[in-house]
């Protein structure tokens, strides 16, 4: 059992992720600008988190946790301070709080901007991908965190299949519940540390796909 902190704890992905983490026996601290919107479950503690705040304040909220998830997103409304610099602040806060495990929700091909124009869904969110490009690069190149970066295709509200394909591929989609299951499953999967994992819908059970990485 781990105690994890979820940055962006009231969002769509976070809600599904919290369900999975709690089902696996973990404790969750859910940090959000509006913590009252966090799903209510045993073992879940909502806290107010402002990514516009300073690193020291964020680090104080991280005290005592084993891992950090960044699944926050401004949906294009606050890309610089939330999706880019907000993410960087949480990485710096993780270091300050002595936390090594850090799991980032990103976007397909976020580290390969030459690909964005090839896929209409990516071209439509270019500004978001720019923010993720800088956040992902900082995580990989400017920290010593035990990171895993999950880069899904376009998120959908469809029912999950619990099956995926990992790796590069054509523009595709991922149901939000499947993205959450992957995020939860990599928490203790040591073979995912320091890896960037692209995912799409597929035919392989999530646990099997992670084992084969």
Domain span at residue 14 reads 3-211
Residues involved in catalysis: 128
Task: Give the residue ranges of the chain where pLDDT is below 70.
Answer: 171
CA angle 5, 55, 2 (to 5 degrees): 20
- Number of structural domains (the chain) is 1
Q: What is the pLDDT of residue 204?
A: 96
Q: What is the pLDDT of residue 54?
A: 95
Q: What is the pLDDT of residue 180?
A: 98
Q: What is the pLDDT of residue 106?
A: 97
Q: Is 144 helix (H, G, I), strand (E, B) or coil?
A: coil
CATH of the domain at 197: 3.40.50.720
| pLDDT tens column, 41-83 | 999 999 999 999 999 999 999 999 999 999 998 777 889 999 9
Q: What is the pLDDT of residue 171?
A: 63
Q: Which of 155, 150, 196, 190 is nearest to 172 (CA)?
A: 155
In 63-201, where does DSSP find H-type helix?
A: 85-97, 120-123, 126-141, 176-185
83, two tokens: 């999706």
Q: What is the pLDDT of residue 58?
A: 98
**H or E element at residue 9:** none
Q: Chain-centre distance of CA 209, in angstroms?
A: 18
- 134 in Cβ contact with 108 (< 8 Å): no
What does the alpha-carbon distance between residue 191 and residue 160 come to, in Å, rounded to a whole number?
24
């Amino acid at each position: 059992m781990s105690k994890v902190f979820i940055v962006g704890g009231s969002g769509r992905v976070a809600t599904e992720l919290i369900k999975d983490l709690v089902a696996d026996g973990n404790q969750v601290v859910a940090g959000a600008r509006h913590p009252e919107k966090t799903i209510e479950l045993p073992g879940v503690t909502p806290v107010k988190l402002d990514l516009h705040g300073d690193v020291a304040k964020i680090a104080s909220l991280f005290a005592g946790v084993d891992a950090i998830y960044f699944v926050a997103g401004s949906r294009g409304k606050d890309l610089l301070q939330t999706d880019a610099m907000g993410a960087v602040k949480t990485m710096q806060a993780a270091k300050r709080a002595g936390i090594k495990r850090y799991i980032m929700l990103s976007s397909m091909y976020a580290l390969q901007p030459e690909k964005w124009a090839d896929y209409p869904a990516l071209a439509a969110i270019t500004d978001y991908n720019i923010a993720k490009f800088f956040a992902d690069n900082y995580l990989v190149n400017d920290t010593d965190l035990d990171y895993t970066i999950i880069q899904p295709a376009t998120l959908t509200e469809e029912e999950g299949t619990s099956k995926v394909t990992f790796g590069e591929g054509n523009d595709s989609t991922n149901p939000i519940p499947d993205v959450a299951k992957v995020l939860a499953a990599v928490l203790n999967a040591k073979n995912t540390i320091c890896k960037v994992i692209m995912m799409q819908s597929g035919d392989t059970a999530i646990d099997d796909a992670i084992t084969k990485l």
